[in-house]
Amino acid sequence: MNSKQIGLLLLSGLLLSLAWPTHGFSPLVFLGFVPLLIVFYQLRLQKPKRLLLKSFVSAYITFFVFNIITTFWLYYSTAFGMWFAVLVNSGLMALVFMFYQFIAKRTSNRNALVFLIALWIGFEKLHLHWEFSWPWLNLGNVFSENINWVQWYEYTGTFGGTLWIWLINILLFNAYLKWGQNRLQKIKLLVSLILLLGLPIALSYLIKSQYTNLGKTAEVIVLQPNIDPYSEKYNTKDPQVAKNLIELIAQQKPIGESTILAPETVFADGTRLKQFNVSPAYQFTQQVTSQFPQLSLISGISMYEIIRDSSQVKTQTNYLKKGIWFNDYNSAFLAKANQSIEFYHKSKLVVGVENFPYQEFLKPLLGDIMLDLGGTVAVKTTQDNRSVFEIDQEVKVAPIICYESVYGEFVTGYVNNGATILGIITNDAWWGETQGHKQHFSYAKLRAVETRRSVARSANTGISGFINPLGEVMSKTVYNTRISLKEDIPLMTKTTFYVKHGDYIARIAYFFIIFIGIFALIKYKREGLKR
């Protein structure tokens, strides 16, 4: 690698980083991969020894720059967690390009580029499901601050954005390869670029124009108690938390029917599941529903369940001592006047903080070390289904807890179960006043568009607020303020194509990965026999 190639690799990383929300200029993502693709093309022409290793190192330079700039804020929670996320994710992204280089040596440029698109989409899909799940930098997220460009996410989800980005990058890369050809070829490339950029944006505005009436509304109040998780949260007892929340509710002077959202694990003392009815959190619900009987309350709470029967032990169950285990939950509950309490347990967990990935393999090597990326450090127990809290026949709230809101297809599970509002409860104070909490709020706009559901978001601190089904922010708070907000938010019942079919683009991508991969391997084997 020469200095010019290193410069191109750094340029790719910078372009991708400078495109990222919330302060980035997203159109830069359309050419972010071009310098990297040029270097890979040059390496193939040079035919150096250890081509795949040099390709991996080249891609790693680009993706290290991209990861460190966009997610450095993890450092404010833990230095180890930040470096682990940056180094590992950079390596995984580089592996995608290394496999692309392997295929590119054994098939046509067109087939290799199709394989690259499919493999990248497959990698992003993997990042949504495996135990080291980290989809924060999935490419389709980049348009969260340009939501009017991607109203068609209701058909494709964020994988449609990923595909769009790759198609334009590859068109520009091919323009680089063919620019010296005849004038007609240049015109074709320019027209293709204009159409590929312009048509999806035009379609997006056309789709948005169809939504002239967003339907009935429901009143929702979100609470932001602003409790510092490092100095106050786990030192403030639940009775004091309850008092603070009641003050925030009273600020809004609720008269008619309304739904209240309080943040993730706002009741942090640790309440035993079977003893909830004698807990400070329960006393709080009784006080609220007594003072405001027309209100429905959804709140986060830290809970646990003692287990003495070994047959009830799950893979996520924690060992306490001989004959005793416990399930640790990051939960939400619904309280209504004269009705029993309903619970939901968070089911998409933060790597290391709430979930020890592949602990059957890693625990013997690492012991009880946890990769603290922000949250409460424990192995949490999940549930299989997506619960929906039914306030009445029309108001049905999805209790989405923190990190769960980053997962598009996962959130559609709530909507398929009847949710008419996406209720996100989160903490968001772990990373200080950085891009972390801003990106987290911004990504909620994508969920609104994908599902055509309003979002009500309660953050301990960070950003609380409301987003309509078009992904437009109705109102929001600022970081580090103790406040409550009230809005009448639209209730839509439409089931979008994406809600029905989920990440079908990724499933199609798997077909191309397998088909082109097998073709290239057969050719590789034949070349080996000839040698």
Phi and psi based region of residue 332 (left: phi greater than 0; alpha: psi -120 to 50; beta: remaining): beta
Q: What is the mean pLDDT of residues 468-478?
A: 97
One domain for residues 29 and 101: yes
**Per-residue model confidence (pLDDT) at position 353:** 78
What are 319's strand-pairing partners? Answer: 325
pLDDT per residue over 45-58, tens digit each? 998 889 999 999 99
CATH value at residue 469: 3.60.110.10
What is the percent of the chain where pLDDT is above 90? 77
Note whether residue 316 is domain-resident: no
Residue 40 lies in a domain: yes
- Write down the pLDDT at residue 375: 41
Q: Say yes or no: 27 and 95 in one domain.
A: yes
Report pLDDT for 366. 59
The DSSP secondary structure of 29-81, one letter per residue, reads GGGTTHHHHHHHHHHHHH--TTHHHHHHHHHHHHHHHHHHHHHGGGGGT-HHH
Q: Are residues 118 and 35 in the same domain?
A: yes
Contact present, 342 and 334 (Cβ < 8 Å): yes
User: Has residue 426 got a pLDDT over 70?
Assistant: yes
Question: How confident is the model at residue 529, as a pLDDT?
Answer: 57
Residue type, 41: Y
> Does 159 have pLDDT greater than 50?
yes
Span 178-226, pLDDT tens digits: 877 678 888 888 999 999 999 999 999 999 999 988 889 999 999 999 9
Averaged over 8-17, what is the pLDDT?
98
pLDDT computed for residue 467 by the predictor:
98
Q: What is the mean pLDDT of residues 406-424?
A: 98
Tell me, what's the pLDDT at 373?
Answer: 41
Residue 372 has pLDDT above 50, yes or no: no
> pLDDT-derived band of residue 338, with 50, 70 and 90 as boundaries?
confident
State whether 171 and 75 are in the same domain.
yes
Residue 386 has pLDDT above 60, yes or no: yes
On the question of a cis peptide bond just before residue 62, with omega within 30 degrees of 0, the verdict is no
The secondary element (H helix, E strand) that includes residue 178 is helix 158-178
In a domain, 498, yes or no: no
**Which string of DSSP letters, residue by residue, matches 313-348?**
--TTPEEEETTEEEEEEEEEEEEETTS--EEEE--S
CB atoms within 10 A of CB 215: 15
Domain that holds residue 228: 217-303+331-491
**497 located within any domain:** no
Average model confidence (pLDDT) for the chain? 92
Lowest-pLDDT range of 166-170, 245-249, 517-521: 517-521
At 186 the pLDDT is 82
Per-residue pLDDT tens over the stretch 250-306: 999 888 899 999 999 999 999 999 999 999 999 999 999 999 999 999 999 999 999
Per-residue pLDDT at 94: 98
- Same-domain pairing of 206 and 221: no
Shared domain for 141 and 260, answered yes or no, is no
| pLDDT tier, 374 (very low <50, low <70, confident <90, very high otherwise) | very low
Report pLDDT digits (tens) over 352-367: 778 877 776 666 665 5
368 has pLDDT over 70: no
Instruction: Tell me if 323 is assigned to some domain.
Output: no
Quick one: average pLDDT of 313-342?
92
Whether residue 22 is found in the same domain as residue 37: yes
Q: Would 93 be classed as within a structural domain?
A: yes
Higher-scoring residue by pLDDT: 401, 76: 401
In this structure, are 202 and 221 located in the same domain?
Answer: no
Please give the helix or strand (H or E) that residue 174 lies within, else none. helix 158-178
If asked whether residues 202 and 224 sit together in one domain, one would say no
Q: How far is 441 from 94, CA to CA, in rounded Å?
A: 28
pLDDT at 370 over 50: no
Residues 126 and 235 in one domain: no
Same domain for 139 and 262? no
Q: Is the pLDDT of residue 531 over 60?
A: no
Q: Is residue 150 domain-resident?
A: yes
Question: Which of residues 38 and 2 earns the better pLDDT score?
Answer: 38
In this prediction, residue 319 carries a pLDDT of 86
Residues 514 and 447 in one domain: no
What's the start-to-end Cα distance of the chain, in Å?
Answer: 28
Instruction: Tell me, yes or no, if the pTM score tops 0.75.
Output: yes
Domain-located, residue 318: no
Determine the pLDDT at residue 156. Answer: 98
DSSP string for residues in 410-472? HHHHHHHTT-SEEEEEE---TT-SSHHHHHHHHHHHHHHHHHT-EEEEEESSS--EEE-TTS-
pLDDT at residue 19 above 50?
yes
Please tell me the total count of domains within the chain: 2
